[in-house]
Chains A and B, each alone.
Chain A
């Protein structure tokens, strides 16, 4: 057992100290910081910008109301009222002005507007202008039929609509939203753990083979112990890295919310209605998912003898994760389909898809239990098989990366006596 911890510690520390790890962690932290402060960053670029829109009102009735209304929602606009249409179009073409809005009246008295601009892909501006005009029109019409403010408010109040599930223990709407948010985050986390760290294990094993230090290692510690020590070492590494991202993300978002209102951190993500069991499941599935793919990566890594051969070797595994990810993304919107149900029992997909189901639906416990047993069983199977292949694979030096090698590795590693 002593050697097990030595390898774990060595894997963890040497990987932690590599430049590439430190740099990539640094870059990720910067990205997390930028994402968390995205609003501030965007504002920083947009602050100075005043947008000028020429409004040519052929009816003469809308222009003042329109200006008032627009200023209330977004004061970064400047309205030019008395522009000549041709001159205005010239100014728009030269980039000085944003666009020209021409308002006319249709036969029924409903206003009709034409917006001319160089940037018709800027949907946010167009939508803002459109909704502003609609609102002004509504104001004008309600005034004409002499409704008071109360009546107007009532008119626009949406009908009350409540969803009640008749299923027992069903999740409330807020719970479902919370679950969706968490599932979404977890899917990404699991996906990145599997893609990133499993690849790291595979290349770690392959690089030890390349440098041939493996021969010395297998003579002092059993390959199986070594394999699991490595998996644990990289797992520790992933905790440190993920922990760093989460801490940075947590503090910068709390900082951000602190500036605004009295929203609680969990509310911000809609996590407040979440059940404890969902978090427990998240942890269980993330760990088992990691273990499943880590074991697979370790033995795939032991089959190649050069780091360059790693990529083609682990591509099928990566594809598996990607497929699981795509299915679960589809499942987020519609978790109760047969496809999702079936996939949630297939071990390579279970960590993502069964988690999606338990997070969003009320899944009978036996189903969760069964999928966990299947997943665990396949991890054990993979570990036993992996250990055998690993034992033989680390002694095999060839350029091949085929199934034949797998067989060869098995014969080499066969226990005889």
Chain B
């Protein structure tokens, strides 16, 4: 049960939206798909769903091309929310789930379960247009998972949610993952990706720029962050070899260093200078990696 995207490329005329991406996602894994707006995320998802055909390359699910015969195994949450505004929650759930091969009775039972999970039982017979954006979003999520898909595609699932609902949704995504569902999701909020994914791919204008396991990506990135909170002057560290970035903060300085050997050097330099309230070495955040890999090119 794995999704394999082999050298998929999509061109629209002379414009290349997706350029030779290659990755494989195993069963029950959550895969993060990052990229700035227009990086080719949605096009990739549409190719996975079989709505668009790749110009080159191949996308397979369990060794087979994805087509409408297995649409019951696939769940999709599009970036732009799509529900019938005039239909009641239960009505459209029954309709959309029936298109994925689910019987009405089962749909209603599952719907009750999910509404309770999201604490919105009262909305079952409300029209979608009467719900708040956040609640519509939850309904949208339910439509993508109600038929217990094997492969779930979430395009920007967290956009427009408040922190409480973000946590509810994260929980719901992990719940589905634990049922054995393979999940691929995109976001440009890096902290969500860090919380959920083991593997990820950062896209920039159709090309993958960073790809692999989250831990390894961070390790390979090399640079780390060193935070020093102290009252004495540290400005000489700015010119130290191995320090790539120097920032003064309210309580001290924040450095970006190329590896751990620099830390020792710094320790020797400043530990004798006086009292240090904080001396902390951090892994780089995904945010920094993203900005580094994608952001500078846009600047």
Interface residues of A (CB under 8 A from B): 2-3, 6-7, 10, 14, 18, 208, 211-222, 395, 397, 411-412, 414-417
Can you report 26 A-B residue pairs in the complex whose CB atoms are below 8 A from each other?
Answer: A2-B101, A6-B95, A6-B99, A7-B99, A10-B95, A18-B86, A208-B84, A211-B83, A211-B85, A212-B80, A212-B82, A213-B82, A213-B83, A213-B84, A215-B82, A217-B99, A219-B74, A219-B78, A221-B68, A221-B71, A222-B68, A395-B52, A411-B13, A412-B52, A416-B55, A417-B54
Instruction: Report the nearest A residue to B67, measured CB to CB.
Output: A222
Closest B residue to A2 by CB, please name it: B101
Contacts of A216 in B (CB 8 A): 76, 78, 82, 96, 143
Q: Is B98 an interface residue (CB 8 A)?
A: yes
A414: chain B residues within 8 A (beta carbon): 53
Q: Which residues of A contact B80 (CB under 8 A)?
A: 212, 215, 397
Interface of B (DSSP majority class): loop
Mostly, the A contact residues are helix
Among A18, A211, A213, the one with the most B-chain Cβ atoms within 10 Å of its Cβ is A213
Q: Which residues of chain A come closer than 8 Å to B238, judged between CB atoms?
A: none
Q: How far is the CB of A217 from chain B (nearest CB, A)?
A: 7
Told that A216-B96, A217-B99 touch, could you supply 13 new A-B pairs with CB distance under 8 A?
A6-B98, A211-B83, A212-B78, A213-B83, A216-B76, A216-B78, A219-B71, A220-B68, A411-B13, A412-B52, A414-B53, A416-B53, A416-B54
Q: A212–B99 contact, CB under 8 A?
A: no
Q: Determine whether B291 belongs to the interface, using a CB cutoff of 8 Å to chain A.
A: no
Residues of B at the A interface (CB closer than 8 Å) are 12-13, 46, 49-55, 68, 71, 74, 76, 78, 80-87, 95-96, 98-101, 143
A220 with B78, Cβ < 8 A, contacts A3-B99, A416-B54, A417-B53 known: no
Please name all residues of chain A whose beta carbon is closer than 8 Å to the beta carbon of B49 when the two chains form the complex: 219
> Given A219-B74, A222-B68, do A412 and B81 touch, yes or no (CB 8 Å)?
no
Which B residues are in CB contact (< 8 Å) with A14?
Answer: 87
Q: How far is the CA of A417 from the CA of B54 in the complex (A)?
A: 7
Task: Name the residue of chain B whose CB is nearest to the CB of A7.
Answer: B99
Residues from chain A with a CB closer than 8 A to the CB of B100 are: 220
Contact between B76 and A219 (Cβ–Cβ < 8 Å)? yes
Q: Which residues of A contact B101 (CB under 8 A)?
A: 2
Task: Give the one of A220, A221, A397 with max B CB within 10 A.
Answer: A220
A411–B12 CB distance below 8 A = yes
Q: In the bound complex, what is the Cα–Cα distance between A217 and B100 (angstroms)? A: 10
In the complex, what residues of B have CB within 8 A of residue A221's CB?
68, 71, 99
Chain A residue at smallest Cβ distance from B78: A215
Q: How far is the CA of A208 from the CA of B84 in the complex (A)?
A: 7
CA distance A216 to B75 in the complex (A): 9
User: Is the beta-carbon distance between B99 and A412 smaller than 8 angstroms?
Assistant: no
CA distance A215 to B87 in the complex (A): 17
CA–CA, A397 and B96, complex, Å: 22
Which of chain B's residues have a CB closer than 8 A to the CB of A208?
84
Q: Pick the residue among B12, B53, B71, B84 that contacts A211 (CB under 8 A).
A: B84
Q: B90 to nearest A CB, angstroms?
A: 14
Cα–Cα distance between A221 and B96 once the two chains are bound (Å): 10
A331 nearest CB across to chain B (Å): 43
Within 8 Å CB of B96, what residues of A?
216, 220
* Residues in A whose Cβ lies below 8 Å from that of B51: 218-219, 395
Measured between beta carbons, the chain A residues less than 8 angstroms from B46 are 395
**For the complex, what is the distance from the CA of A166 to the CA of B187, rounded to whole Å?**
81
Task: Specify which chain A residues have a CB less than 8 angstroms from the CB of B81 in the assembled complex.
Answer: 212
CB distance from A41 to the nearest CB of B (A): 37
B82 nearest CB across to chain A (Å) = 3
